[in-house]
Amino acid sequence: MRDLVSNIGLVTAIAPAALDADNTPAVIDLLGFNSAVVAIEVGVGGITFTSSNKVEFKLSHSDDDDTYDAVTIDDVQGVETVGTGGIIYALTAAHAAATVTKVGYIGNRRYLKLLADFSGTHGSPTPISAIVIKGNPAVAPVA
């Protein structure tokens, strides 16, 4: 049977919005799931991104929802490198078309947070959203 809907959980990491400043990261609890994918959606850039006027998506994880550490390359898949502070994706050049970027989380911690970290001047906002798709549930079907 092709039943995926009963075997995944969806959680908003960054609510859809036109942003020009950092979001307040939501706590994503992975309890009861054995895998996760972060899907980052970015619309057409509100500015022309550069190395100083940029957005860096930083993923952190925690065992206790109190102390968060930046992920490393050993905690994720689907990216070639992880930058300082857990940067899993960065907008540093013109972004003329909408994109969706997926990053697998393979770390072993219970909690995640995703920050869209804005640097420089952003005179016009950029449409951004992100969801976490939780998979391999301990108990299915998932409500």
Per-residue pLDDT of the chain (143 residues; tens, 9 = 90+): 578 999 999 999 999 999 999 999 999 999 999 999 999 999 999 999 999 999 999 999 999 999 999 999 999 999 999 999 999 999 999 999 999 999 999 999 999 999 999 999 999 999 999 999 999 999 999 98
Handedness of CA 114, 72, 94, 39 (dihedral sign): negative
The verdict on residue 110 lying in a domain is: yes
Q: Which pLDDT belongs to residue 67? A: 98
pLDDT for the residue numbered 126: 97
The pLDDT, as a whole number, for residue 1 is: 54
The CATH number linked to 69 is 2.60.120
Position 85 in a domain: yes
Q: Would you say the C-alpha torsion 77, 79, 84, 86 has a positive or negative sign?
A: negative
**Does any domain span residue 15?**
yes
The pTM assigned to this predicted structure is 0.95
Domain of 42, in residue numbers:
11-135
Q: How far is CA 32 from CA 8, 19, 139, in A?
A: 11, 32, 7
The verdict on residue 99 lying in a domain is yes
Helix (H, G, I), strand (E, B) or coil at 10: strand
Residue 4 within any structural domain of the chain: no
Residue 77 lies in a domain: yes
Q: Give CA 95 to chain center in angstroms.
A: 18
The answer to whether residue 3 is domain-embedded is no
Joined together, the tokens standing for residue 11 give 């959680």
Total count of domains within the chain = 1
Contact (CB, 8 A) for 20 and 125: yes
Q: Is residue 141 assigned to a domain? A: no
